[in-house]
Amino acid sequence: MSRLHLFDLDGTLIHGSAAAVEISRQLGAEPGIGELERAFAAGELSPPQFAALAMELWKELTEAQVAAAFDAAPWMDGIQEVWGEIRARGERCAVISLSPSFFVEKLLDWGADAARGSHWPAVPFREPLDPSGILDAAAKVRIADELCAEYGLGRADCVAYGDSMSDASLFAVVPVSVAVNADHHVRDIATHAYAGRDLREAYALTGAAR
Q: Is 209 contained in some domain?
A: no
CA 209/CA 193 separation, integer angstroms: 16
Smallest CA-to-CA distance from 14 within 121, 81, 104 is with: 104
Last residue of a domain, one of 36, 54, 71: 71
**Full domain range(s) for residue 85:** 4-16+74-204
pLDDT at 208: 63
Between CA 131 and CA 113 the distance in angstroms is 26
Q: What is the dihedral of CA 36, 41, 43, 48, to 10 degrees?
A: 50
Considering 54, 71, 88, which residue would you say is the last residue of a domain? Answer: 71
Judgement on whether residues 150 and 78 belong to the same structural domain of the protein:
yes
Q: Which of 98, 108, 103 is nearest to 46 (CA)?
A: 98
pLDDT digits (tens, 9 = 90+) for 56-89: 999 999 999 999 999 999 999 999 999 999 999 9
Q: Domain count of the chain?
A: 2
Per-residue model confidence (pLDDT) at position 210: 44
Residue 35 lies in a domain: yes
Q: Which residues contact 79 (CB under 8 A, 6 or more apart)?
A: 13, 110, 199
Do 42 and 126 reside in the same domain of the chain?
A: no
User: Any idea what the CATH number is for the domain that residue 92 is in?
Assistant: 3.40.50.1000
**Is residue 65 assigned to a domain?**
yes
Q: In Å, what is the CA distance from 31 to each residue of 57, 87, 156?
A: 10, 40, 42
Tell me: do 79 and 57 sit in the same domain.
no
Q: Is 111 left (phi over 0), alpha (psi -120 to 50) or beta?
A: left
Residues 38 and 106 in one domain: no
Q: Are residues 94 and 185 in the same domain?
A: yes
Same domain, 37 and 139: no
Query: Does residue 104 share a domain with residue 10?
Result: yes
Q: Are residues 32 and 125 in the same domain?
A: no
Percent of the chain with pLDDT over 90: 94
In residues, how long is the chain?
Answer: 210
> Are residues 56 and 152 part of one domain?
no
Question: Is residue 34 classed as helix, strand or coil in its secondary structure?
Answer: helix
* 93 in any annotated domain: yes
Give the whole-angstrom CA distance, residue 134 versus residue 90: 31
pLDDT recorded at residue 207 = 82
Low-confidence ranges of the chain (pLDDT < 50): 209-210
Q: Is 210 within a domain?
A: no
Task: Give the span between the Cα atoms of 19 and 75, in whole angstroms.
Answer: 11
In a shared domain, residues 66 and 134: no
Residues 166 and 119 in one domain: yes
Are both 56 and 112 inside the same structural domain? no
